[in-house]
């Protein structure tokens, strides 16, 4: 595998490279403080003597070194712009560039959160209109844009439920989730002081309605459901489910991770849900940023709106203002939300309009079904029926026949130039591969990925070791993750 | 998968080796194989008491956490502190150097109720 | 068809492949009563040229602080952002990537975060830092929750001098019953360590303070940490990252957890978000730390490489027993912070901190010299300070806005007494701007 004969000594290589602390020289610098134009002061005296004895060991580099360093790091990354990224449940759609430009307009990026309200009318209008659009898409009229992420939105909604139950006399004790739930759901339940009750799925991969009914009692505060669920299936019993939840006075919560499947087709509010979080970084095209920032607005029924975290941007008699709901649970973070992300989502809604949003969901669902039927002969699809915007295959056959695991196939996909699907989730499918193409991928990309998956299935049958040894073409090879967890080197030290 | 005959086994995949009234406890070779590379073991302190059926610690691989269930009841006399630095010992030598705790047995009948090596082998092969 | 590349012809072929006649057939699982049988009531989409104009006009309805001479702070600061920062952030390989779960093709994000974690450790004097959190307020709450896990106690004491929005956020989380929050009152600009000691007992998991505090004053950090430790509680200190360029790191003073709002490090104010919360703690408590973290390891060729590690703390594995429900970080904001810190270096950071402190002290002296402002306390401060204004602060603020100045933040107004105003001065303000501002104050 070595390229020693063809690569001249000293040629720059892709792959592991120096840390920024290992570059530059002690006297190198890039941007310095301005000349002092006010009288110098005795810094130690001014700061009450709390002066550090040694400077922090930051990088000492020039501007070119910074740009090269991050250019090399960027080369080692894979983004939506690099290629097809069918990561299930993550909705890795294209991030429109006008959204990026919009968030950087100085009239938005330069706003201080405590400016007088009459100097931020454009920002408030944007937030109000975005809230109204989200309310229309969700069928739930109360909206807060404050939560910083999906998990943060889940917590906000559960806090509203707790407040509403408490106002009715009893905060209740338990929250029910299906065994297909994202890990954030039970973690959020705990963080909100509730106990998690997990119910099984039925043989169709849907909510086991009888199990749900059996678990429901007056101690249940809420039922959390992702619909379409994490298998990519829309639960046709949804109206019975939400009615059963309501029958014991509990609230129905929709994890909106999969909203990209249903915009303009069906609304969580019309399905009987009382609250929903929306991942703007999934459905509304804002970038994932390598892990964030996202934004997780929460939409609730008119009844629950009085508990939302404040302040909320609202229409005033003249223009727009900020207002806290009467029985607000209080803030869930500082200021008003991830405003820069809201600007991007707003631009997206404005670009598409209501009709465009419906087309998004229709194409996302069609593309997923197209991939499903083109792959379900070589891979097991445990719940093989019409799916929504994503579907879950199993690598069980490949594991059984050639000892190739889903993880191996995921790594092999990297060699074919694709980002792998979500793997080993949901837990209920053995060797799961969860594929979400999104509507922004051309047919040629879908076909190329299908071709790669079929080729890997063949490799798994004929030459399993090739797949097990993958990847071969990436900047680094498979990592020793056990060593990382045992040694826990979490920061650079010069002697390392 | 050799599970030695000198000790007994629980259905939560712990082994118990008794010497007098002192029981040494660890996880089985089968269990460590299922877990994969062990990266961390969280154990109680000497002097604590464990109760049969309750959890007494946790064992972590890179991407999983499993609870350790006490197969017997008693006071902890000694903890294998070496696992803090070299948790991989649980993978390399689960039945000997990878032991976890030593307990002063409260009730010998709890030990008697555990599975023999043969019974445990049947238990894991039947899934 | 915006952003959708599938042609009509291709769509027909795809429908045939799936075996349905029309797209609606794919939605057959949606019960009739839950279907939306009308178009969404959202205005038709705009062309890009219309949209660009619309966004530009909407943004111009605002008067951003950056168009003004701004002295507003209170958690978000108008620091200079070096050009390189945004040029790095605009690299699509960074901003269009997901969480680095596939380390073989995510070394860019992973290494950048590892470097960020190192920088936060250096600034705070702590042993480990996570990959960042949503903002200062949520990092602060997570610190309180972590302290409860570490000490197995359920009550925290929070300084009343902390940013009121942070305390409010802490209170919101406390409603869940996960922890109990008591506020320690203060008098004269900052907390007295004796008051902290008096409020402590063996039920307290942590004392949480901010230094500088909300009104800019530096707290008796060492005294309060000592009091907390005396009672077996952890000390959580929120710090300003710019000032950490010159000030004693809380880690050196014995803090157990150091958090803060990272916006000053190369992040746009953007109406207060997105920014980042930094979070650092002691290595011995790392398994109770919330949030994701990057660690160093090697690949099968033995090359140094980086990977998300200690994942068993997190929600996707430990589910209801996770250390937090957080499932993201503010990676791009953390990247901005790392690029910023590399651009300024330790010398530049110290120079920026020094300039901010000197300019703030200069403005304070000049405002007091006008005779319209008076000091309410005389404690050491960084680059933000509060003064009493002998008049209607809202009117003053409004009048100065007309002249192009954002006159800080009005903290309190009183019918029968002086109002309280909070001013922050960053390195961006020039002496000429400060003098012009003081002149306007004098003239009004």
Q: Is A32 on the interface with C (CB under 8 A)?
A: yes
* Statement: residue A27 has pLDDT above 90: no
Touching A (3+ Cβ pairs <8 A), the chains are: B, C
The rounded distance, in Å, linking the Cα atoms of C331 and C117 is 11
For residue C96, the 8-state DSSP code is: T
Touching B (3+ Cβ pairs <8 A), the chains are: A, C
Q: What pTM, to 2 d.p., does this model score?
A: 0.96
Peptide linkage before C249 cis (omega within 30 of 0): no
Give A481's contacts in chain B (Cβ within 8 Å).
Answer: 62
% chain A with pLDDT above 70 = 97
The rounded distance, in Å, linking the Cα atoms of C382 and C375 is 15
* Statement: residue A14 has pLDDT above 60: no
Question: How far apart are the two ends of chain C, measured CA to CA in Å?
Answer: 57
* Statement: residue A88 has pLDDT above 50: yes
CB crowding A435-464: b at 16 or more within 10 Å, else e: bbbbbbbebebbebbbebbeebbebbeeeb
- H or E segment and range at residue C281: strand C277-281
pLDDT value of residue A5: 46
CA distances from A340 to A52, A90, A349, C264 (A): 35, 20, 15, 16
Which strands form C373-374's sheet, in the order they lie side by side? C373-374, C384-389, C419-424, C409-412
pLDDT value of residue A407: 95
pLDDT value of residue A8: 55
Q: Which residue of B has its CA nearest to C317?
A: B64
Handedness of CA A23, A24, A27, A32 (dihedral sign): negative
% chain B with pLDDT above 70 = 98
**Number of inter-chain CB pairs under 8 A, B vs C:** 17
Handedness of CA A286, A290, A293, A299 (dihedral sign): positive
Helices (H), C74-232: 83-89, 92-95, 107-124, 136-151, 164-174, 193-199, 221-230
Cβ atoms of residues A165 and A304 within 8 Å: no
% chain C with pLDDT above 90 = 92
For residue C376, the 8-state DSSP code is: S
Token pair of B44 as six digits: 């109680």
- Residues C317-340: what's their mean pLDDT? 92
The rounded distance, in Å, linking the Cα atoms of A279 and A295 is 6
Give A490's contacts in chain C (Cβ within 8 Å).
Answer: 114, 117, 128-129, 286, 293-296, 309
Q: Is A448 on the interface with C (CB under 8 A)?
A: no
Predicted confidence band of residue C161 (pLDDT cuts 50, 70, 90):
very high
Give A30's contacts in chain C (Cβ within 8 Å).
Answer: 82, 84, 342-345, 348
CA distances from C358 to B7, C65, C345, C355, C377 (A): 74, 22, 20, 5, 19
| Among B39, B40, B64, beta carbon nearest to C317 | B64
pLDDT value of residue C198: 96
pLDDT value of residue A9: 54
For residue C286, the 8-state DSSP code is: G
Q: Is A470 on the interface with C (CB under 8 A)?
A: no
Question: Cα angle vertex A478, ends A475, A479, to 5°?
Answer: 100
* Statement: residue A19 has pLDDT above 90: yes
Backbone angles phi, psi at A385, to 5 degrees: -145, 175
* Statement: residue A2 has pLDDT above 50: no
Predicted confidence band of residue A428 (pLDDT cuts 50, 70, 90):
confident
Supply the mean pLDDT for chain B.
93
- Bridge partners for B24 per DSSP: B17, B102
pLDDT per residue as tens digits for the range A135-150: 999 999 999 999 999 9
pLDDT value of residue A4: 40
- Residues C220-235: what's their mean pLDDT? 97
* Statement: residue A490 has pLDDT above 70: yes
The rounded distance, in Å, linking the Cα atoms of C137 and A148 is 12
Q: Which of C149, C223, C325 to mutate to test the interface with A (most CBs of A within 10 A)?
A: C325
A13 or C20: which carries more pLDDT confidence? C20
The rounded distance, in Å, linking the Cα atoms of C370 and C368 is 5
Q: How much is the ipTM here?
A: 0.98
pLDDT value of residue C70: 98
Helices (H), C280-419: 315-318, 331-369, 393-402
- Residues B8-34: what's their mean pLDDT? 94
How buried is A35 (Cβ within 10 angstroms: 0-12 exposed, 13-18 middle, 19+ buried)?
A: exposed
Q: Is A106 on the interface with C (CB under 8 A)?
A: yes
pLDDT per residue as tens digits for the range A304-362: 999 999 999 999 999 999 999 999 999 999 999 999 999 999 999 999 999 999 999 99
Give the three-state DSSP class for A122: helix
* Statement: residue C333 has pLDDT above 50: yes
pLDDT per residue as tens digits for the range C379-413: 999 999 999 999 999 999 999 999 999 999 999 99
Cβ atoms of residues A320 and A336 within 8 Å: no
Mind telling me how many Å the CA of C293 is from chain B's nearest CA? 14
How buried is A412 (Cβ within 10 angstroms: 0-12 exposed, 13-18 middle, 19+ buried)?
A: buried
Task: Name residues 211-250 of chain A within 8 A of C (Cβ).
Answer: 233-236, 238-239
pLDDT per residue as tens digits for the range C253-285: 999 999 999 999 999 999 999 999 999 999 999
Cβ atoms of residues C276 and C330 within 8 Å: yes
- Residues A221-234: what's their mean pLDDT? 96
Predicted confidence band of residue A1 (pLDDT cuts 50, 70, 90):
very low
User: Greatest CA separation found in chain B?
Assistant: 38
pLDDT value of residue B127: 57
- Residues A434-462: what's their mean pLDDT? 97
Mind telling me how many Å the CA of A487 is from chain B's nearest CA? 9
A275-278 and A251-256 strand pairing: parallel
Mind telling me how many Å the CA of C259 is from chain A's nearest CA? 14
Touching C (3+ Cβ pairs <8 A), the chains are: A, B
| Among C100, C247, C345, beta carbon nearest to A290 | C100
């Amino acid at each position: 595998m070595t390229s020693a004969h063809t690569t001249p000594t000293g040629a720059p290589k892709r792959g592991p490279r120096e840390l920024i602390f290992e570059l530059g020289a002690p006297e190198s610098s890039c941007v310095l403080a301005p000349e002092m134009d006010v009288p110098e002061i005795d810094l130690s005296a001014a700061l009450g003597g709390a002066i550090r004895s040694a400077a922090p060991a930051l990088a000492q580099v020039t501007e070119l070194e910074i740009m090269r360093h991050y250019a090399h790091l960027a080369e080692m990354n894979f983004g939506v712009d690099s290629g097809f990224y069918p990561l299930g449940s993550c909705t890795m759609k294209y991030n429109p560039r006008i959204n990026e430009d919009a968030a950087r307009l100085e009239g938005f990026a330069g706003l201080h959160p405590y400016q007088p309200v009459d100097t931020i009318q454009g920002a408030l209008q944007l937030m109000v209109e975005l809230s109204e659009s989200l309310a229309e898409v969700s069928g739930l009229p109360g909206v807060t844009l404050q939560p910083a992420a999906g998990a943060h939105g889940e917590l906000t909604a559960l806090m509203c439920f707790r407040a509403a139950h408490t106002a009715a006399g009893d905060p209740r004790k338990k929250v029910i989730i299906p065994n297909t739930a994202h890990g954030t759901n039970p973690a959020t339940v705990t963080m909100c002081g509730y106990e998690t009750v997990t119910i099984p799925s039925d043989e169709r991969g849907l909510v086991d309605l009888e199990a749900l009914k059996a678990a429901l009692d007056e101690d249940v505060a809420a039922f959390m459901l992702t619909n379409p669920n994490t298998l990519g299936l829309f639960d046709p019993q949804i109206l019975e489910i939400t009615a059963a939840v309501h029958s014991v006075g509990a609230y129905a919560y929709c994890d909106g991770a999969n909203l990209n499947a249903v915009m303009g087709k069906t609304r969580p509010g019309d399905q009987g849900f009382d609250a929903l979080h929306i991942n703007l970084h999934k459905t509304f095209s804002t970038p994932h940023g390598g892990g964030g920032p996202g934004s997780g607005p929460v939409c609730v029924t008119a009844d629950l709106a009085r508990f939302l975290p404040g302040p909320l941007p609202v229409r005033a008699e003249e223009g727009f203002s900020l207002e806290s709901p009467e029985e607000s649970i209080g803030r869930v973070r500082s200021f008003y939300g991830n405003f820069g992300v809201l600007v991007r989502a707003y631009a997206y809604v404005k670009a598409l309009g209501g009709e465009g949003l419906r087309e998004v969901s229709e194409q996302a669902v069609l593309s997923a079904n197209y991939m499903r039927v083109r792959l379900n002969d070589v891979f097991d699809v445990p719940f093989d029926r019409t799916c929504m915007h994503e579907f879950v295959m199993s690598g069980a056959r490949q594991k059984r026949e050639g000892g190739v695991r889903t993880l191996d196939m995921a790594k092999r996909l990297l060699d074919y130039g694709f980002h792998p699907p979500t793997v080993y989730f949901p837990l209920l499918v053995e060797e799961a591969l969860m594929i979400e193409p999104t509507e922004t991928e051309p047919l040629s990309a879908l076909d190329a990925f299908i071709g790669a998956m079929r080729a890997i299935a063949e490799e798994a049958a004929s030459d399993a070791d090739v797949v097990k040894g993958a990847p071969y073409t990436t900047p680094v090879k498979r990592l020793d993750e056990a060593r990382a967890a045992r040694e826990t080197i979490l920061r650079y030290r010069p002697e390392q | 998968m050799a599970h030695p005959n000198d000790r007994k086994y629980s259905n939560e995949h712990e082994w118990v080796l008794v010497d007098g009234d002192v029981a040494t406890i660890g996880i089985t070779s089968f269990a460590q194989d299922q877990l994969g590379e062990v990266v961390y073991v969280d154990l109680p302190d000497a002097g604590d008491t464990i109760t049969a059926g309750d959890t007494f610690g946790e064992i972590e691989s890179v991407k999983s956490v499993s609870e350790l269930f006490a197969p017997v009841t008693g006071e902890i006399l000694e903890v294998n502190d070496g696992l803090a630095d070299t948790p991989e010992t649980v993978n390399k030598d689960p039945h000997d150097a990878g032991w976890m705790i030593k307990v002063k047995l409260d009730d010998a009948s709890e030990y008697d109720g555990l599975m023999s090596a043969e019974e445990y082998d049947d238990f894991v092969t039947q899934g | 068809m915006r952003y959708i590349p599938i042609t009509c012809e291709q769509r027909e072929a795809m429908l045939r492949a799936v075996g349905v006649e029309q797209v609606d057939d794919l939605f057959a699982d949606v019960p009739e009563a839950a279907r939306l049988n009308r178009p969404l009531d959202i205005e038709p989409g705009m062309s890009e040229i219309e949209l660009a104009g619309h966004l530009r006009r909407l943004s111009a309805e605002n008067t951003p602080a950056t168009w003004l001479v701004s002295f507003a702070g209170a958690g978000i600061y108008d620091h200079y952002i070096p050009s390189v920062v945004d040029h790095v952030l605009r690299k699509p390989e960074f901003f269009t990537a997901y969480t680095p779960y596939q380390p073989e093709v995510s070394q860019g994000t992973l290494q950048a975060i590892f470097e960020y974690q190192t920088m936060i450790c250096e600034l705070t004097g702590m042993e480990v830092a996570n990959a960042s959190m949503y903002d200062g307020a949520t990092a602060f709450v997570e610190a309180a929750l972590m302290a409860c896990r570490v000490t197995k106690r359920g009550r925290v004491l929070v300084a009343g001098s902390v940013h009121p929005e942070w305390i409010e956020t802490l209170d919101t989380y406390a409603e869940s019953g996960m922890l109990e929050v008591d506020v320690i009152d203060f008098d004269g600009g900052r907390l007295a360590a004796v008051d902290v000691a008096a409020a402590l007992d063996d039920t307290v998991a942590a004392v949480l303070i901010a230094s500088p505090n909300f009104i800019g004053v530096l707290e008796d950090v060492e005294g309060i940490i000592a009091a907390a430790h005396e009672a077996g509680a952890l000390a959580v200190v929120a710090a300003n990252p710019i000032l950490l360029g010159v000030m004693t790191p809380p880690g050196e003073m014995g803090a157990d957890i150091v958090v803060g709002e990272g916006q000053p490090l190369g992040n746009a104010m953007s109406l207060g978000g997105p920014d980042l919360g930094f979070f650092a703690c002691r290595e011995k408590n790392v398994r109770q730390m919330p949030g994701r973290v990057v660690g160093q390891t090697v690949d099968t060729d033995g090359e140094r490489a980086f990977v998300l590690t200690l994942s068993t703390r997190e929600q996707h594995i430990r589910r209801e027993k996770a250390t937090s429900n957080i499932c993201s970080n503010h990676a791009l904001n953390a990247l901005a912070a790392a690029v910023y810190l590399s651009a300024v270096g330790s010398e530049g950071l110290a120079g920026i901190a020094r300039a901010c402190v000197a300019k703030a002290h200069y403005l304070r002296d000049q405002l007091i010299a006008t005779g319209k402002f008076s000091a309410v306390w005389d404690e050491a401060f960084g680059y933000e300070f509060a003064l009493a204004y002998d008049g209607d602060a809202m009117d003053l603020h409004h009048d100065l806005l007309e002249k192009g100045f954002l006159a800080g933040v009005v903290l309190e107004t009183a019918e029968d007494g002086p109002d309280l105003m909070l001013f922050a001065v960053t390195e961006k303000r020039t002496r000429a701007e400060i003098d012009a501002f003081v002149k306007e104050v004098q003239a009004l």
